[in-house]
Amino acid sequence: MSQVTEIATLLDQAARNGTAIGQFDPEGHLSLEQAYAIQSAVVKCREARGERRVGVKMGFTSRAKMLQMGLSDVIWGRLTEGMQIEEGSAIDISRFVRPRCEPEIAFILKKPLAGNVTGPQALAAVEAIAPALEIIDSRYKDFRFTLPEVIADNASSSGFVIGPWCDPHIDFSNLGLTLNINGRVMQVGSTAALLGHPLRSLVAAARLAAEANEPLQEGWIVMAGGATSADWIEAGQYISVDMERLGSAGFRLS
Ligand code: 0L1
Ligand code: MG
């Protein structure tokens, strides 16, 4: 078994069982190319079990988080249908190691999108936009990881919830939003936190996915990135996002 397959198998099992593993590259020696190769192999494990690819997620999309990590670019991960959580439903916390949740805006595409595109070209490929939540769950013990490790771990992607799909022609550059737990506001933010405009995240997704020879497909969802910091979430909580003009999305953790 190659080292890529070996690490990918460990990460896939950790995600399936909700059990943490130790770091495999604590000094961060792996190249980003190697890290994404492991991520690709992790997602292939899911596809081998019959899960369909449904899109991509973007990570570290706020300038503050990028600088904090010493990064000059965003990171991305792959979404499969098994990660989608029906809006308003309840899910069992045992499937996670130690989950956190962040409010996002999601795009769904009406046509493929690839390469170096402009904002208007990206918008022309968007069928609809929606308020959304991402559940992130690092598979590493004590939430300690290097950049190659988090990329290999599918950018901590674990679940996502999509609210009502809305007309993409409204101005969504600076929509106010809150992340709420049991109806209490925990985080306040704006879609402008995503690289200044969420479309920039979609433009980056088109570039990065094409570089990986996996161009964005018609019908795919793009989770544009966290608009606030993520909050730890626990069993018994109802977690929701309220977004100006677009509405709400939520789920219960049991
Ligand atoms: O912004 C993101 O969705 C990436 C999250 C990866 C790091 C983490 O687990 O906090
Ligand atoms: Mg996110």
Which residues face 133 on adjacent strands? 103, 161
| 17 CB-near residues (< 8 Å, 6+ apart) | none
pLDDT bin (cut points 50, 70, 90) of residue 218 is very high
Ligand 1 centroid to Cα of residue 102, in Å, is: 9
Which residue range(s) make up the domain with 31?
3-253
pLDDT bin (cut points 50, 70, 90) of residue 148 is very high
Nearest Cα residue to 101 out of 225, 231, 222 = 231
What is the pTM for the complete model shown?
0.96
Residue 222, pLDDT score:
98
How would DSSP label each residue in 231-249? EE--TTEEEEEEETTTEEE
Ligand 2 centroid to Cα of residue 194, in Å, is: 11
> What's the CATH code of the domain at 47?
3.90.850.10
Q: Does the CB atom of residue 135 touch ligand 1 within 6 A?
A: no
By three-state DSSP, how is residue 56 classified?
strand
Name the residue type at position 74: V
User: For all residues of the chain together, what is the average pLDDT?
Assistant: 96
pLDDT at 38 over 90: yes
Residue 242, pLDDT score:
98
pLDDT in tens, 116-140: 999 999 999 999 999 999 999 999 9
Both tokens of 167, joined, read 């007309």
Q: Does residue 145 contact residue 70 with C-beta atoms inside 8 Å?
A: no
Residue 208, pLDDT score:
97
Region 190-194 average pLDDT: 97
Angle 63-7-140 from CA coordinates, rounded to 5°: 50
Judging by beta carbons within 10 Å of its beta carbon (0-12, 13-18, 19+), is residue 33 exposed, middle or buried?
A: exposed
Residue 45, pLDDT score:
97
Q: Does the CB atom of residue 35 touch ligand 1 within 6 A?
A: no
Region 63-82 average pLDDT: 86
Residue 70, pLDDT score:
78
Ligand 1 centroid to Cα of residue 240, in Å, is: 18
Percentage, residues of the chain above pLDDT 70 = 99
Q: Does the CB atom of residue 83 touch ligand 1 within 6 A?
A: no
pLDDT at 67 over 90: no
By three-state DSSP, how is residue 18 classified?
coil
Q: Give the position, in ligand 1's atom list, of the atom nearest the Cα of 230.
A: 10
pLDDT bin (cut points 50, 70, 90) of residue 63 is confident
ipTM score here? 0.95
Which residues face 19 on adjacent strands? none
Q: Does the CB atom of residue 138 touch ligand 1 within 6 A?
A: yes
pLDDT bin (cut points 50, 70, 90) of residue 29 is very high
pLDDT at 1 over 80: no
pLDDT in tens, 229-244: 999 999 999 999 999 9
Q: Does the CB atom of residue 41 touch ligand 1 within 6 A?
A: no
- Tally the domains of the chain: 1
pLDDT at 97 over 80: yes
Nearest Cα residue to 36 out of 178, 181, 214, 192 = 214
| 180 CB-near residues (< 8 Å, 6+ apart) | 186, 239, 240, 241, 242, 250
Ligand 2 (ion): which residues have CB within 5 A? Answer: 134, 226
CA distance 151 to 148: 5
Query: What is the widest separation between alpha-carbon atoms in the chain?
Result: 51
By three-state DSSP, how is residue 215 classified?
coil
Residue 51, pLDDT score:
97
> Which residue among 75, 140, 201 has the greatest number of ligand 1 atoms within 8 angstroms of its CB, and so is best to mutate?
75
Region 45-73 average pLDDT: 89
